[in-house]
Structure 1
């Protein structure tokens, strides 16, 4: 249950190491020029209304989970974990609700506003907002933005990795207030499809077969 909760509710880690041959390592000035500006990243995120992707989750203890992610901005998301877990993390109506069929306990719930994921699910993403971005780097392959909610800096931070041409979200890492880190690596992100509202309600059942 704790590992599932960290998927979206609570977490920052260094990006996956990328080894580049010396011939591909550009001088610092050249690499900086390739870094995506925050305005371009904000525009990309604001342009997403619906999206889905497979994902691989690396938990704080090193264990792996896989599943499907569904987004419906603003404010809604669903992490559907593959069998044998069958768990789901549903974000909607301002809350993050964790359903674990293997648990005898009722679903856990957290306010979305107290999780770093609220940054990318906001109705208007503005990474230029004061004190929101605490890191903006380029690793030779991707732009890495580390952000926190200025109103709730104690809720943790989220590190987002984007590639360019075209801009695409590839990965995020969430760090909670205790320092636990969870990485979510996305597959190909499909956008613009119809997603039923029932996907994002706690009593809405499973994922329709046409979306799997």
Structure 2
């Protein structure tokens, strides 16, 4: 990790110098290590602050359910920008700022089912710092352009492409794909999405390079 963890924690907590609730976005290509970094960061932030002062809003909860992807004919590229409920995600981010005195209930994502789960996440009014992670936080179109103005800062996570691709292959195999099908999915679905995310790198406030996580 070229950015030390302690430096990242310090940078995140420094956002609290701003008034009101602050939101930190963590983005990067599929398999870059966004969730691993976010989980580690949240653990350290909760240790440094009151646990109730930190919230987590992952973008994954806003995946469209498979029944909707089937209806729209998009299930064969699940994970692309138009396979998420971007309107719902933007609405949740807005509520974090517009209704800070109310608990925000938001969908989570069940990895074993590969499906969103309604109201699985609760962000209480006491959460002054909310971390949200996802691929498309800096995308300039498709409705995603409404996300960046709602985030205090955005970090772009990257790792060696070969490492990232192998992570994705292993992930797809763990969820039932054959090795050949897993590699086909990475090539045909994940990599076009990764190219979109790489194109947003320069819009990030910070680039975090992960050697391993």
Normalising by structure 1, we get a TM-score of 0.26
Normalising by structure 2, we get a TM-score of 0.26
The higher-RCO structure (CA 8 Å, 6+ apart) is 2
Is the strand fraction higher in 1 or 2? 1
Is the helix fraction higher in 1 or 2? 2
